[in-house]
Structure 1
Amino acid sequence: MALNKKPVKGMKDILPEEMQIRDYAISVIKETYGKFGFTSIETPCAESIANLTSKQGGDNEKLLFKVLKRGEKLDVAGAASEEDVVDFGLRYDLTVPLVRYYSAHSAQLPSPFKALQIGNVWRADNPQRGRYRQFMQCDIDILGEASNLAEIELILATTTTLGKLGFKGFEIRINDRRLLKAMAAYSGFPEEAYDSVFITLDKMDKIGPEGVKTELLENGFGESCVERYLELYQGLEKAEDGVAYLADMLKGVAETSVTDNLREIIDSVQATKTAGFEMVFDATLVRGMSYYTGTIFEIAIPEFGGSCGGGGRYDAMVGKFTGKEVPACGFSIGFERIIMLLLENGFQIPDRPKKIACLVEKGVEGQALCDVIAKAQAMRETGSQVLVVRMNKNKKFQKEQLMAEGYAEFEEFYKEGLRN
């Protein structure tokens, strides 16, 4: 029986055209983030199962690829539970590995520490457009900075990078988990039910206010709570300044520092941005990760119709490893979705080197072949990309294929006495 040529479900092979754009995007990302002071790091693709199931990753913990113990340690027949056969799993994001890394090496790292991570993660998710089971994430994080300078720098670095990749007219939507909790408290929801309320609120853009109301009532919440909650959002729609509106409505419930913080982030980014985007306060923005403790944000690109990245502040996570809390904030670009949009829009890599193909007839050997290679080496020294290949019998078709790969110039080399 023939072996299966297809990649496993939810994973994909990457052809040369896409790979070139991915490599270019990564080079822009690394160069731009480097200018903002971020340092590249790398963590293993697998983490301790205890770290990956520590209630830090929200629903992503349900999507874990778990790895069986190896060799003599694997005793399936004698196992009483999953714990007896599993000891680690593939990472579902880059944040938990980063915090473990920081917790282990903080004494050797500067403070604040500005980290850049680019790497694959794995989730046993339902594959769809722009969503895979293996996909690359691109994260920047600042650990050790308690002020909103961290949020401002993260947003500016991310948006500057997107601008250099040709994106414009997008939005950075911003909210604060503390504000979400204050709105729920103002409405009369019990604190233990906040997560349930936020899960429903997160569907606002799909099911609308009436759908949110129906679901909250179906979940057993009192009508007075639900009505008061939705009245806040109705008021937001009419307000010229949503942050100022909530600062006024939630006096005595939300600390004024929360809305002041949001206002300063929005105003500072708007005043200093270099890319074509807008900061938008969105009081329905939830972000699914349970580890967020403060500011949260998300990238919305119109042509995708959904989130193309996001992040926020997670000040409590380092303490789970060390017992001592360290302020932390991060932003992740939805790398696969960005690449998908670049490909769909026919993106062309700027300032590509000249691509020259040297076609060498069969029989060109010895010193003659060395002369061809020497000429190719000389052209490479001038910055050209030079391919040396044997000439096919169907030279016309070969050239068409090479032109499709971007080769615009051709040099042909024949045996002695054979010329065009």
Structure 2
Amino acid sequence: MFLPAGSRDLTGRQLVNRVTIYEKFQSVVNLRNYQAIETPIVEYSTTFTNPYAGMTLKKMLKWFDEEGEIEVLRPDWTIAVARALANQQSDQQKWAYAGSVFKKDHAGVESHQAGIEIIRTPGLYGEFESLFTAARFLTELGVQQYSIELGHTEIFETFISSLELDELTASQIRQAMHDKRKDEVYRLVNEAGNEESAEAVAELTDAFGGTAILDKFAQMWGNNPKLLLVVQELQKLAASLEELGQDVIVDLGRVKQLPYYNGAMFRGFLAESGAECFSGGRYDELYEQFGGKMSAVGLAFDMDVLAAALPAPQKQERICLLTDEQGLIAAEALRYKYPDAVVDVRTETTAETYDRVYQVVKSGEGYEVIEK
């Protein structure tokens, strides 16, 4: 009644955890030489709905400005940062951001992200740096049990590029592949192409699991230079992560959900809940819509998911100092005797639980502290 649908208030541990996570994130990216960037919370809708970005207007929070242009609350950080950096003349390659995004298809409408963007770098540097930063950040948070999934846009796209697909059929095949509906993938591709291509594409729905899958498909695609190169790229990324002690899974049938991805894709999943805590990949083509042409790789952390999963902090001693209005100054001075404790000064008793309770009472010219 008092808030629009999807809006919510936050209190307590979830909010405290999110603040802690932001502080850890800033510490990690600062030490890795990322520069902070912030984009406006209000943007023109066309920044996100053009063919390069491919987002859907109906899922955005929007309105008309006085000129009749559609404005939206920022629905995506990656696209907004690309707009800001496309013509940036700085030599800085690594950028970091943190803040809210707004989409109607997300629980709560407003979600909180922190992420990194790495531009103008050679080879696989951007992918390595993104994944290494993610691993370091999660370690700093105390999140130990998680898996990193690797995929690549060019596998699925290579198989269906030879088919003459209308937009609807392409969308249906992509969704069926995303949902791992093997029979539906086979049916749709067979109707649009032939049995051989249908079998090859349908096989991708089962091409997920441990890194041994990469060796299997490297042999299968040995005579296809394009696909073999993709597998070798994923093998390099997987080997580097495993050397750092990370659990790696592979999904060769993963499809891109937004058109701007054009290379390696990665996601992080928490072991306990299975929740996706980060996602990202390569999107060189995204910058072309803003007149830029450069390599770009990055990922975004879901701060709400991480806040819910953050280990409980070490229990601090809780102390209550009971006094009257005249004793508040004396009680305030006593805080410094307990620098590592949570000290609550109150003028009346409460049902809250404390480890120790002291009465601060007038005694001559000063105050006396009496343990209750």
Select which of 39, 64, 67 maps to 2:35. Answer: 39
Which deviations, in whole Å up to 9, do the C-alpha atoms of 1:203-253 show, x marking residues without a partner? 11xxx4234335556x7555443223224556x479983323333434336
Contact in 2 for aligned 1:64/1:89 (Cα 8 Å) = yes
Gaps of 5+ in 1: 75-83
Report 1:83-162 matches (<5 A): 84=68, 86-104=69-87, 106-107=88-89, 109-111=90-92, 113-125=93-105, 131-162=107-138
The alignment-based identity, stated in percent, is 18
Q: TM-score, normalised by structure 2?
A: 0.85
Is 2:216 the partner of 1:249?
no
| Matched residue SS, 2:122 | coil
Is 2:183 the partner of 1:210?
yes
| Matched residue SS, 1:414 | strand
Is 2:368 the partner of 1:413?
no
| Matched residue SS, 2:267 | strand
Give the corresponding residue for 2:152.
176
CA distance in structure 1 between the aligned counterparts of 2:34 and 2:86, rounded to whole angstroms: 18
CA distance in structure 2 between the aligned counterparts of 1:17 and 1:43, rounded to whole angstroms: 28
| Matched residue SS, 1:156 | helix
CA distance in structure 2 between the aligned counterparts of 1:11 and 1:88, rounded to whole angstroms: 19
Moved more, 32-41 or 9-18: 32-41
Distance 1:314 1:16, change over 3 A: same
| Matched residue SS, 1:254 | helix
Which deviations, in whole Å up to 9, do the C-alpha atoms of 1:109-139 show, x marking residues without a partner? 334x2111110110011x5xxx331010111
CA distance in structure 2 between the aligned counterparts of 1:326 and 1:149, rounded to whole angstroms: 14
Select which of 285, 293, 312 maps to 1:316. Answer: 285
Select which of 17, 20, 26 maps to 2:22. Answer: 26
Select which of 207, 224, 230 maps to 2:202. Answer: 230
Partner letter of residue 164 of structure 2? P
Cα distance, 1:36 vs. partner? 2.5
Q: TM-score, normalised by structure 1?
A: 0.76
Is 2:294 the partner of 1:326?
yes
Moved more, 191-200 or 329-338: 191-200
Is 2:328 the partner of 1:369?
yes
Is 2:242 the partner of 1:270?
yes
Which deviations, in whole Å up to 9, do the C-alpha atoms of 1:1-59 show, x marking residues without a partner? xxx44x32222211122221111122222222333222222211111222122234445
Partner letter of residue 42 of structure 1? E
Contact in 1 for aligned 2:151/2:234 (Cα 8 Å) = yes
Contact in 2 for aligned 1:203/1:212 (Cα 8 Å) = no
Is 2:321 the partner of 1:358?
yes
| Matched residue SS, 1:303 | coil
Moved more, 168-177 or 49-58: 49-58
Report 1:332-347 matches (<5 A): 332-342=300-310, 347=311
Count of equivalent residues: 364
CA distance in structure 2 between the aligned counterparts of 1:296 and 1:238, rounded to whole angstroms: 15
Select which of 163, 167, 177 maps to 1:201. Answer: 177
| Matched residue SS, 1:120 | strand
Distance 1:55 1:17, change over 3 A: same
Contact in 1 for aligned 2:101/2:113 (Cα 8 Å) = yes
Gaps of 5+ in 2: none
What is the RMSD computed on CA atoms of the aligned residues?
3.0
Partner letter of residue 313 of structure 2? I
Which deviations, in whole Å up to 9, do the C-alpha atoms of 1:261-289 show, x marking residues without a partner? 2211111222134xxx4122211222312
| Matched residue SS, 2:226 | coil
Partner letter of residue 269 of structure 1? L
